Amino acid sequence: MSDPDLDLLPEFHTSVQRFDKGSRIPGWDRAADLDKDPAEVPDPADTEVPAELRAEIEAEMARFPDIHSAAIPALFAVQRRDGWCTPEGIRQAACVMGVTPAYLTSVATFYDMLNTEPCGPRQVYVCTNISCSLCGADELLGLLQEELQGNEEVHLRGFECLGACDIAPMVSVDGVYVGPVPFDEVPELARQIAAGEDPLPARQLVKRPSADPKVSGSAATNPEGSDA
Amino acid sequence: MTDLLLFKGIDEPGLNTIDVYRRTGGYESLKKAFSMPHAELIEQLTDSGLRGRGGAGFSMGKKASFIPQGDMQKYVVCNADESEPGTFKDRELIQKNPHQLIEGVIIASYAVGATISFIYIRGEYAQQADILEAALVEAREAGYLGENILGSGFDLDLQLYRGAGAYICGEETGLLDSLEGKRGNPRLKPPFPAVEGLYGGPTLINNVETLSAVPHIIDMGAKEYAAIGVQDSTGTKLVSVSGNVKRPGNYEIELGTPSREIIYGLAGGPPDGREIKCWFPGGSSSPVLTADDLDLSYDFDTMAKAGSMLGSGAIIVVDDSNSVVDVAYKLAHFYAHESCGKCTPCREGTKWTETMISRIKDGTATPMDLDIMASVQDQIIGHCLCVLGDAMAMPVGSLIAKFRDEFEVEIEEARQRRERELMGGVLA
């Protein structure tokens, strides 16, 4: 007779990341370096910014009464170019905007669509929120993960409600919504994602008629127009 | 059944272009609005009884009347962040009829005297944002935006702003911070945005559906609009029905329609052989109702009296093949992920609720945990700057209150399952 497997016993604290001495704050035990210079706005003289990126960010800055509003558009511009918000890209954007890279980093880490870790440039989201999960979204995500395993171009992840519960379970491929995705079409979808093709053209949200029977041309009055 | 307003001809090909929109009577309300004094416009909006369609259900006219008079820079911000799980009505409105929204924003801006306005759309709606962007270009070229619109002497600069994926940015002050280029943390209120909002100026914030209804109110007159629906819930409402139903989608209904007619009549009810276990009447933040509540009238006050809320008008149906523990876990996980972390009760409360529900699933919970969980929900509600924490506490609290037996059964089953797993190693 052996002892019960201790690894299976409850470990209540594992879901919270812990640092030194059980603290939840990284670096809490390191004293602040009072001699260090405060964060600085990158010097235009030694920061090379590609003309395209500069033009894009400056156009965004001109749209708003306060240039800080261009933070998210600027980070999106960096992400479009580099695939994620690279430290170098953030530095360049900060230089154009006249803010510190730390400020832009603080913004980037708040939002789910801005990636602050290296990842593939193709963004694929599977909604796993309540309506979609009632319709099998978790299985869909698992299947798609299997199909796209090892593909470094594609950044696939489960995402919070994407606002398309009428086509649950659904997938967003670089902003193109498709659904409902039957499990037997997952290999085809994965192939299209990997090849950069238009994903499941017949199942794209923008082609879907209204569900309301009072609307002329809706799914209810025109059944062949719908895949419900 | 009343005629469609927001969804009138919504599937007409090309309605997203200005030519088709104008052919169907578009931008006529704007001309009518320009012939009215500001005060009369706001009076019309108040008299129509239009209540905000984003979730809070506050009178739009009243909100507009809070904007101070004077020469300071004022703003109108349209909230198109639509991140409440289960809600997808604004998406269809923007994608199929963007000019209706633009016209509504122009009228609202004119009414409160705002010369700079924004539409804040969630970043995930990339296709819809492109459509709206194209519509804005058309409206600018046609002279509906810019300087001296239609010779009225009114100037308006309307910009589209794409968010980057954060539920909290649907909260109005979180949205303003995000629009100002910061992390989307909600602000302490008061001051309310009507007094001190975007860039510190008076700001009117309304949902897409609310602003899309404005041209119709001006067109038909406040009295006629107020005749639709029931007392204190006037007009039509888009309901997004999803989850375990045969025909999920957006339906335009007259407020006061029986809930059963929406869920069974329009959306087809749950799949054959299944019964409704519970349903969320107003997005995932609303306390759940059960099959016994299906005959309630679907309007703001009846839902509030039943202990829930109409919220954003998103009905999520859960049938009896699902476990309430899984539903509660999904909710808690979502809100824990989306909590901005500014207020402790919300940040810790959502995280610990998620942890406690996962203990139920892995068999390490006891029935006493349900009481602790319920008390955590009490500690969250009303103790934070915004209602994100409440938005988890209310539905999770209601699930525990209404389905306590099921939670207890699941706790016991999972405990036994785990025991067998642990003992398996011993007996072998």
Q: How many CB atoms lie within 10 A of CB A70?
A: 24
Residues near B397 by beta carbon (within 8 Å), at least 6 away in sequence: B287, B374, B377, B378
User: Please, are residues B384 and B345 in contact by the beta-carbon 8 Å criterion?
Assistant: yes
The full length of chain B comes to: 428
Q: Which helix (H) or strand (E) holds B249?
A: strand B249-254
**d(C-alpha A177, C-alpha B207), whole Å:** 22
Q: DSSP code of B51?
A: B
- Least CB–CB distance from A71: residue in B85, B181, B337: B181
Output the six-digit token pair for A191. 């192939």
Cβ pair B182:A71 closer than 8 A: yes
Model confidence pLDDT, tens digit, residues A29-84: 888 888 877 788 999 999 999 999 999 999 999 999 999 999 999 999 999 999 99
- As a 3-state breakdown, chain A gives helix, strand, coil percent values, each rounded to 5, of 45, 10, 50
Cβ pair A66:B181 closer than 8 A: yes
Cβ pair B86:A131 closer than 8 A: yes
Distance from CA of A27 to the nearest CA of B (A): 19
pLDDT at B347 over 50: yes
Cβ pair B127:A206 closer than 8 A: yes
Candidates B330, B353, B364, partner chain A, best to mutate (most A CBs within 10 A): B330
A-B contacts at Cβ under 8 angstroms: 211
Alpha-carbon Rg of chain A, whole angstroms? Answer: 23
One-letter amino acid for residue A70 of the chain: A
Contacts of A113 in chain B (CB under 8 A): 123-124, 164-165
Output the six-digit token pair for B330. 């999904």
Q: Is ipTM over 0.90? A: yes
Distance from CA of A180 to the nearest CA of B (A): 11
Q: Which residue has the tokens 């009225």?
A: B152
Cβ pair B181:A76 closer than 8 A: no
Model confidence pLDDT, tens digit, residues B270-295: 999 999 999 999 999 999 999 999 99
- Cβ burial, residue B34 (10 Å; 0-12/13-18/19+): middle
User: Please, are residues A23 and A29 in contact by the beta-carbon 8 Å criterion?
Assistant: yes
pLDDT score recorded for residue A25: 80
**d(C-alpha B197, C-alpha B178), whole Å:** 12
Q: Which residue has the tokens 């699902």?
A: B322
HSE-CB for A61 with a 13 A CA cutoff: 16
pTM of the predicted structure, to 2 decimals: 0.92
Model confidence pLDDT, tens digit, residues A75-103: 999 999 999 999 999 999 999 999 999 99
DSSP letter string over B268-335? --SSTT--EEEEESSSTTSPPEEGGGTTSEESHHHHHHTTS--TTSEEEEEETTS-HHHHHHHHHHHH
- Least CB–CB distance from A131: residue in B83, B316, B337: B316
Confidence of residue B235 (pLDDT cuts 50, 70, 90): very high
Q: Omega into B191 within 30° of 0, i.e. cis?
A: yes
**d(C-alpha A90, C-alpha B49), whole Å:** 47
pLDDT score recorded for residue B428: 54
Candidates B6, B15, B88, partner chain A, best to mutate (most A CBs within 10 A): B88
Cβ pair B183:A114 closer than 8 A: no
Model confidence pLDDT, tens digit, residues B199-224: 999 999 999 999 999 999 999 999 99
Cβ pair B11:A2 closer than 8 A: no
Distance from CA of B128 to the nearest CA of A (A): 9
- Least CB–CB distance from A160: residue in B337, B418, B425: B337
Output the six-digit token pair for A119. 């990842």
Tell how strand B75-80 and strand B116-121 pair up: parallel
Q: DSSP code of A39?
A: P
Q: Which helix (H) or strand (E) holds A127?
A: strand A122-127
- Least CB–CB distance from B164: residue in A1, A111, A163: A111
Cβ pair A219:B338 closer than 8 A: no
Cβ pair A212:B251 closer than 8 A: yes
Q: Is B27 left (phi over 0), alpha (psi -120 to 50) or beta?
A: left
pLDDT at A226 over 50: no
Average predicted confidence (pLDDT) for chain B: 95
- Least CB–CB distance from A215: residue in B10, B73, B90: B10
pLDDT at B353 over 70: yes
For A112, the closest chain B residue by CA position comes to: B165
pLDDT at B329 over 70: yes
Cβ pair B249:A8 closer than 8 A: no
Q: Is B157 left (phi over 0), alpha (psi -120 to 50) or beta?
A: beta
Alpha-carbon Rg of chain B, whole angstroms? Answer: 23
The full length of chain A comes to: 228
User: Please, are residues B175 and B184 in contact by the beta-carbon 8 Å criterion?
Assistant: yes
**d(C-alpha B243, C-alpha B256), whole Å:** 22
pLDDT score recorded for residue A36: 79
**d(C-alpha B225, C-alpha A145), whole Å:** 50
pLDDT at A212 over 80: yes
Mean pLDDT over A140-155 rounds to 96
Query: What are the residues facing A122 on neighbouring strands?
Result: A154
Output the six-digit token pair for B214. 């404005």
Tell how strand B75-80 and strand B203-207 pair up: parallel
Tell how strand B276-280 and strand B314-319 pair up: antiparallel
Mean pLDDT over B105-114 rounds to 97
Reduced to 3 states (helix: H, G, I; strand: E, B; else coil), residue B1 is coil
Q: Which helix (H) or strand (E) holds B423?
A: helix B404-427
**% chain A with pLDDT above 70:** 89
Q: How far is CA B108 from CA A5, B34, B102, B113, B116, in A?
A: 66, 11, 10, 8, 12
pLDDT score recorded for residue A12: 47
DSSP letter string over B142-188? TTSSBSSGGGSS--BEEEEEE--S-GGGGSHHHHHHHHTTS--PPPP
**% chain B with pLDDT above 90:** 96
Cβ pair A113:B165 closer than 8 A: yes
Confidence of residue B59 (pLDDT cuts 50, 70, 90): very high
**d(C-alpha B84, C-alpha B68), whole Å:** 30
